[in-house]
Amino acid sequence: MVNTFSFTKPLLETPFHKRTFEACYNNDWYRWAGYKIAREYSNTELEYTSMRNTAGVLDITPMHKYDIKGNDAIKFVDKLVTRDVTQIKPNKVMYIIWCNEDGNVIDDGTVFCFDTNHLRIFCAERNLNWFSDTAIGFDVEVNDVSDSIAALAFQGPLSCKILHLLNVKNIENLKPFFFDNFDLNGSKVTISRTGFSGDLGYEIWCRPEYALNVWDSLFKFNRDYKVLAAGMNALEMVRIEAGFIQPNADFMSAEQALRPNRMRTPFELGMGWLVDLNKNYFTGKKNLIDLQNKPLNKKLVGLDIQGDKPAIGSVLYDKNKKEIGIVTAGMWSPSLKSNIAFGYVDNNHMKIGSKVFAEIYHPEELEYKKIWAECLVVKKQFFNPPRRHKVPADI
């Protein structure tokens, strides 16, 4: 008898696994924080299209979730991050980044305010060690609650409509970057109007025992609206269009980079708008004050690239063929009908409208086609439809 190889161990299964396993026609799994997450269910383009036309469902349970409880909860987060969070109010979500003492970015995430003594941070990388050390001297307790909360991203122009059809009361009036508790088809859930797609969308958080009911509910109206389960490949496409960067893909987390010159400051990542140098002291402030007026050596910019061949991994050059940087993420954008990318450029090419060149190696039947493509430096946010911000949202 032949033993079949089992993927069950050591990767963990999320509370949605029964459903994701059935839906994952390709059996193509991605490892995320020890969990098994579908990379592609059946067809990345279809999954991407569902997020841009109807709605896509992504299992984001492996996201790291840290509960911050105690009298100094807000003070603690304010010391941790570069933005002023002292005015945060219950039900509000803020996008945050945090740096080390040199002012290099460690990670980004969102912070949810339940009340002034209870906040929760969601992020892609493990941060318990950093948070616990930041908590020294503060009256707070930091707990990793990652495994006790199941999470789905429900992203796309019809996401609000479908939640409305599921009798999620008043969901259309939930503003971007706010959250609340709702009843979803009999399950208690927390829904935030947040997401990684740059479109109208929600993230749904619930106890693991409600997971399957929540999943099934979102597909309830599929006779009329073709909601699809979307994998990590499709998420990669929407996040590039939305201009969202990822640690250890577009920049090395300062806690993980081995080479000091690979770390990046918020200014180099184009995230200067998230840095408030007038607020109370936070980790990295001293160095960021020194750096704020110094010229940057490198900057992560958006690129609009000639032709239709994705520039993934391409080296960037100036017009004299001098190497100036590298592309960190790239794709042909079906929505924008353009060839877009994020890449690092040097100080002479940071301005919007600058021209650089990408050397693209495009594989064509066992031979590389080398393409010398002109790139225009543009804003990183390529896709930003009005419906993303509209209140009340379209139902």
CB of 136 to other proteins, least distance (A): 5
Given the structure tokens 């970057």, which residue do they identify?
A: 177
Q: Contacting other proteins (CB under 8 A), which of 28, 30, 70, 75?
A: 75
The DSSP call for residue 127 is: -
Interface residue with other proteins among 17, 52, 69, 79 (CB under 8 A) is 79
- Give the binding range for other proteins (CB under 8 A) out of 194-202, 242-250, 284-292, 369-377: 284-292
Give strand pairing partners of 345: 299
| Least distance between other proteins and beta carbon 74 (Å) | 12
Residue 131 C-beta: closest distance to other proteins, Å:
9
Nearer to other proteins, 260 or 363 (CB): 260
Question: 3-state class of 233 per DSSP?
Answer: helix
CB of 231 to other proteins, least distance (A): 35
Distance of CA 114 to the CA centre of its chain: 22
Contact status, residue 16 vs residue 150, Cβ threshold 8 Å: yes
- Nearer to other proteins among residue 70 and residue 307 (C-beta): 70
Residue from 133, 216, 323, 394 binding other proteins (CB under 8 A):
133
Q: Which of 130, 179, 205, 244 binds other proteins (CB under 8 A)?
A: 130
Q: Which of 60, 63, 73, 80 binds other proteins (CB under 8 A)?
A: 80
The residue among 135 and 152 lying less far from other proteins, judged by its C-beta, is: 135
Instruction: Specify whether the CB–CB gap between 122 and 192 falls below 8 A.
Output: no
**Binding residues with other proteins: total (CB under 8 A):** 17
Rg (CA), the chain: 21
> In the chain, where does DSSP find H-type helix?
17-23, 44-53, 73-80, 128-134, 159-165, 211-218, 232-242, 285-291
Q: How far is CA 144 from CA 62, 130, 134, 193, in A?
A: 12, 12, 15, 23
When the beta carbons of 239 and 285 are compared against other proteins, the nearer one is 285
The answer to the question of residue 284 lying near other proteins (CB under 8 A) is yes
Per-residue binder mask for other proteins (CB under 8 A), 92-121, x = binder:
--------xx--------------------
Task: Identify the residue among 222, 280, 297, 348 touching other proteins (CB under 8 A).
Answer: 280
CA 377 to chain CA centroid, Å, is 22
Name the minimum Å distance from CB 24 to other proteins: 40
Q: Given candidates 281, 294, 320, 322, which one binds other proteins under the rule CB under 8 A?
A: 281
Contact segment (CB under 8 A) with other proteins among 15-23, 44-52, 75-83, 301-309 equals: 75-83
Neighbours of 10 (CB within 10 A): 7
Residue type, 202: Y
Task: Identify the residue among 34, 45, 137, 297 touching other proteins (CB under 8 A).
Answer: 137
Question: Which of 118, 78, 76, 112 minimizes the C-alpha distance to 94?
Answer: 112
In order, the DSSP letters of 257-326 are: -SSGGGB--TTTTT-GGG--TTSS--TTHHHHHHHTTSPPSEEEEEEEESSSS--TT-EEE-TT--EEEE
Q: Which residues bind other proteins (CB under 8 A)?
A: 75, 79-80, 100-101, 130, 133-134, 136-138, 280-281, 283-286
